[in-house]
Structure 1
Amino acid sequence: MNLLQRLQQANYQTTAISGDTAYSYAQLIAQALQLRLQYPTLQQQAIALSFSDLHNFVIAILAFDGWCRALYLLPDTSLDLPETVINWPPTEVIPTAKTSSVSTESALASTQTASDWYLATSGTTGTPKWISHSFTSLNRAVKKSAQVAKLRWALCYHPSRFAGLQVLLQSLLSGACLCDCSYGDAQQRIKLMQQQHINAISATPSFWRQLLMTGQLSNLPLQQITLGGEIADQPLLDLLASKFPHARLLHIYASTEAGVGFAVTDKRAGFPASWLTTPHSDIQFKLDQQQHLWLKSPTPPDASLNSRLDSEGYLDTEDLVKRQGDRVVFLGRASGVINVGGNKVHPEQVEQVLLQHPAVLQTRVYAKTSSVLGQLVVADIVVTTDTDNKTLQLQLLQHCRQQLKPYQLPTKFNVVSHLQTNASGKLSRHDSHTPPSDHQQSKTRNEDQHE
């Protein structure tokens, strides 16, 4: 059953999309069906869908899932498409039949094979590429209940990205309401959230920190708090839990390549170590000697990932983890390790330590080339407004020394006004060699302190 048929069967009598103009589920279904009838020549074609606004994007995926053989969701960056793929909205006029041979009934009850959905990877682990999914695998984690149907979701991710599509499908398939909050800075977005009475948000930890920095997050009547895309650290989980004690708080592990992994709902960082021996939510786990996390999902991954599968069907996520008591905690991406004189430093681990300091609101840790040690650790930090930066430098160094080894210590702290995030809402790490701006202040330690 495709997406349009699922919504037709559910018969939700509520608002589906809210904004300057609100649309009900019945209106979206009728508009999507009309789009199918208007372009019968697109049946069994491969379509590339670009995002211009939430209303038209939702109509397009409703119309073309189960109608076209493949849907390519174009990201907000350029990525090559197969030559046979047709762009939608079209750059050239697509011929339509003068007298459509497609009836309303057959357009609604298309019997063609389920569409393949293609999503682009972010490129953080290499060149961006297309990964195929099925509609069944994409909606595997959707939750339904009378309470869930009352949620008003803020779409904070680009809907062509895996995380954004998950929010969109969760909203549509549960009968909830969705508002596009994927544009503007944190102040503009939270103002829109207040206007739309948003009570459910899914975002990266980096974006949650930006929302907290506005000082207005507590004005939202949040019932659902979801974190994903980056490591959810304990201080952030504790802060959100204290501000919204009655909200459901969870952090999700998922990726474009692996699909939906798992959700942790106990408000603790990492996940229970018991999941390594007892499958959780039909996902099987294991760790290798290099501390890589491997997952086995009931849905086979895209064929392009076969090189990362072992003989048992487990996929190497290329995320580094370690057992810590009764938990398995995330260290970071294997490809993001900083090599300091032969010692491996995980940027995310240093960031989590820095974020424990009450003056640090956000941080990004990255490598700086060193002629002596190969690489050194550098940290950009956003701090509270009443902070004395000179005093803070020494405080941070002492704070880090209590929890980190000498080679893990940042050699420089750059105090910045803000940190950039990419289209996925994650910290931008590709520009780590960009020199500090005029508004940045830094303090450097001697390189020989690492020797």
Structure 2
Amino acid sequence: MLAVSPVMLVTDESCISWYSELHRDGIPSLKWHISLGSLSSPFSSNVNVSTMGMLDLHQITPPSSFSTTDYLWARDGAVIICFTSGTTGKPKGVAISHSALFIQSMAKIAICDYSENDVYLHTAPLCHIGGLSSAMAMLMAGACHVLMPKFESKTAIEVIEKQDITALITVPAMVADLISFLREKGPWKGRDSVKKILNGGGSLSIDLIKETVNFFPRAKILSAYGMTETCSSLTFMTLYDPHFSFSYQPHQFHVGADLGSVQRPRGICVGKLAPHVELRTDGDDSIGIGKILTRGPHLMIGYWDQVRSSVSSSHSWFDTGDVGFIDEHGQVWLIGRESGRIKTGGENVYPEEVEAILLQHPGVAGIVIIGIPEARLTEMVVGCIRVKDNWLWSDKSHELGAEKEERLLSDEILRQYCRDRNLTGFKIPKTFIPWKKPFLTTTTGKIRRDAVRQEVVSHVRFIQSNL
């Protein structure tokens, strides 16, 4: 495989200084700098080409005739290196092929019904696979694109109203921010224009789905499950369709599914497979629970700098790192990340299962379940909790009925809440830690579980060293 070095940098006006910095700090191969803005910056002397005025429609003369152009491209060659979100560690560069991006875009057009009539708001960054693949889908469909430099709820709502936006994609944090702003805003025009919302990067709570329907009543709301290594979406699920009746029940999304006389662990339903995807579970579990594997033309070529050793093909199975099962209706259920599994007293605990239950409590604004070292159990299950503004946290023990008299949370109240929902005893957190500040997240809004765990472990060690 030939070594490839970057030779061109394309920036807008806000990043025009990057060329000099990158060229000086280790990328001497850079030869071309293309600016998408004006040349008023003091760094503009380094620009080889400026696109300013190139797309002025008044200066473009249509050709008298069109000639056929033969494009040379390798459909299985890399079109882009896209980085993972780095939820559990350092982000990885993923080499994605032309064909993978094309196939994923076609799947989104088919499932989400994107068309040339859509006006699409780029809420997600183009440096991440969700935003990139959706943008490509809209480009192929012939839709109108409206870009914003960075997501901010107030600006997004203003753009939706001004441009009559019909479609957008989100992650749960974006949805929460939009809903929070709209609660204060009152009547708004976007409730009539928005027809399609695709959510990724995590599941939406039942309450958040209900509020989204309230503020976007004409929108079909879908959720997708995938990752950078699979060029975005493996599965899709319709959460709400205004053309059909729909009942919001928590057990439809977070359940312990029966299989004869055997009870499966709780999981989160992520829907059915995209048209091009093949998926199976791999494990010795008699009820079908195991590692989720996938293969097909959507797979990455490999990780950057490891392409030769990690090269994938449509015939080889890729381990997603997730654990789950496929039910009798063909729906995929996620139990948790294999790498995030907590080993306590010889039993396995998947944080996502516990978090899904606790997030249903009306006083819980956010929850991260982690395992910290413990001599007897190997790891102890701990819950880091963010309490809603109108609720109180108490370190004292209370009667179990106290929460009925006042908006109060405590270790015992939350443990009893888990028991009432039939969560197995070893999965219930031994203790809860009130978290005053927002959880550290990635650029796509996913909580950095590793960072939360590291902070808790460091704090515990500090206390022990001062005893």
TM over 0.5: yes
Structural mapping, 1:319-330, within 5 Å: 319-323=322-326, 326=329, 327-330=331-334
**Equivalent of 1:409 in 419, 428, 445:** 428
Overall identity of the aligned pairs, in %: 22
Counterparts in 2 of 1:315 and 1:192: CA distance versus 1, 3 Å: same
Where 1:424 maps in the other structure, the secondary structure is: coil
> With structure 2 as the length reference, what TM-score do the two structures score?
0.63
**Equivalent of 2:72 in 108, 112, 119:** 112
**Equivalent of 2:281 in 287, 295, 306:** 287
Confirm or deny: 8 A CA contact 2:9 2:30 kept in the other structure.
Answer: no
1:398 aligns with 2:416: yes
Q: Which residue of 1 aligns with 2:137?
A: 170
- 1:6-27 deviations in whole A, cap 9, x for unaligned? xxxxxxxxxxxxxxxxxxxxxx
Q: CA deviation at 1:293?
A: 0.9
Q: Which residue of 2 aligns with 1:205?
A: 172
Unaligned runs of 5+ in 1: 1-43, 58-73, 75-79, 97-103, 437-451
- AA aligned opposite 2:129: F
Structural mapping, 1:248-267, within 5 Å: 248-267=220-239
Confirm or deny: 8 A CA contact 1:367 1:432 kept in the other structure.
Answer: no
* CA distance in structure 1 between the aligned counterparts of 2:370 and 2:202, rounded to whole angstroms: 15
Counterparts in 2 of 1:208 and 1:308: CA distance versus 1, 3 Å: farther
Counterparts in 2 of 1:46 and 1:263: CA distance versus 1, 3 Å: same
- What is the CA RMSD across the aligned residues, in angstroms? 4.2
Higher-Rg member (1/2): 2
Q: Which residue of 1 aligns with 2:365?
A: 361
Structural mapping, 1:20-99, within 5 Å: 46-47=6-7, 49=9, 52=12, 88-89=33-34, 93=46
1:373 aligns with 2:357: no
Counterparts in 2 of 1:158 and 1:81: CA distance versus 1, 3 Å: farther
Give the stretch that moved more between structures: 184-193 or 402-411: 184-193
Counterparts in 2 of 1:86 and 1:255: CA distance versus 1, 3 Å: farther
1:129 aligns with 2:92: yes
* CA distance in structure 2 between the aligned counterparts of 1:182 and 1:350, rounded to whole angstroms: 36
Q: CA deviation at 1:281?
A: 0.3
Counterparts in 2 of 1:300 and 1:383: CA distance versus 1, 3 Å: closer
Confirm or deny: 8 A CA contact 1:228 1:253 kept in the other structure.
Answer: yes
* CA distance in structure 1 between the aligned counterparts of 2:153 and 2:169, rounded to whole angstroms: 14
* CA distance in structure 1 between the aligned counterparts of 2:455 and 2:373, rounded to whole angstroms: 12
Confirm or deny: 8 A CA contact 1:231 1:330 kept in the other structure.
Answer: no
**Equivalent of 1:428 in 423, 443, 448:** 448
- AA aligned opposite 2:300: P
Counterparts in 2 of 1:189 and 1:245: CA distance versus 1, 3 Å: closer
- AA aligned opposite 1:113: W
* CA distance in structure 2 between the aligned counterparts of 1:107 and 1:371, rounded to whole angstroms: 74
> With structure 1 as the length reference, what TM-score do the two structures score?
0.65
Give the stretch that moved more between structures: 84-93 or 341-350: 84-93
Counterparts in 2 of 1:296 and 1:198: CA distance versus 1, 3 Å: same
- AA aligned opposite 1:407: F
Where 2:224 maps in the other structure, the secondary structure is: strand
* CA distance in structure 2 between the aligned counterparts of 1:209 and 1:377, rounded to whole angstroms: 27
Q: CA deviation at 1:399?
A: 1.5
Where 2:414 maps in the other structure, the secondary structure is: helix
Q: Which residue of 1 aligns with 2:247?
A: none
- 1:375-402 deviations in whole A, cap 9, x for unaligned? 3333344444322333222443322222
- 1:281-308 deviations in whole A, cap 9, x for unaligned? 0211111116111112235531457659
Give the stretch that moved more between structures: 350-359 or 229-238: 229-238
Counterparts in 2 of 1:340 and 1:178: CA distance versus 1, 3 Å: farther
Structural mapping, 1:203-282, within 5 Å: 203-216=170-183, 219=188, 220-221=190-191, 222-232=194-204, 236-237=208-209, 239-241=211-213, 243-267=215-239, 269=253, 270-271=269-270, 280-282=274-276
Counterparts in 2 of 1:407 and 1:52: CA distance versus 1, 3 Å: farther
* CA distance in structure 2 between the aligned counterparts of 1:311 and 1:224, rounded to whole angstroms: 31
- AA aligned opposite 1:175: G
Confirm or deny: 8 A CA contact 2:130 2:232 kept in the other structure.
Answer: no
Where 1:379 maps in the other structure, the secondary structure is: strand
Where 2:381 maps in the other structure, the secondary structure is: strand
1:153 aligns with 2:120: yes
* CA distance in structure 1 between the aligned counterparts of 2:361 and 2:370, rounded to whole angstroms: 19
